[in-house]
Amino acid sequence: KAFVQLNSKMKFVIALSLLASACAFAPAPQATSSTKLFGDARSPDGLGVDPGPLDLWDPLGLIDDEESFARRRAVEIKHGRISMMAFIGMLVQELDITFPGSL
């Protein structure tokens, strides 16, 4: 009878540990977020930027031209991506990584 009691306790402990491990890997609830351009609550002017503690710095007044703002933002992202690729290329050269053949 002691063996049956020990066996049932062991099965109960194993079942609890399986339940605990299943709960550990359950997906957490995700908060929904908006990606609209003019939906950022931190942006008082609706441009999607956080001005920070020193307010928005725009000495040339480029933000006032709303028609070309989307294009300037896209061009800035493109230039950032090009500069990241250039940095990777510089690292490849500095590490003396070469490809077979001659150019």
Q: What is the mean pLDDT of residues 31-40?
A: 52
Is pLDDT at 102 greater than 60 in this prediction? yes
Q: CA-CA distance, 24 to 17, in Å (whole number)?
A: 11
pLDDT at 83: 96
Which DSSP category does 47 fall into? S
Q: Is 65 exposed, middle or buried (0-12, 13-18, 19+ CB in 10 A)?
A: exposed
CA distance 78 to 68: 15
pLDDT bin (cut points 50, 70, 90) of residue 42 is low
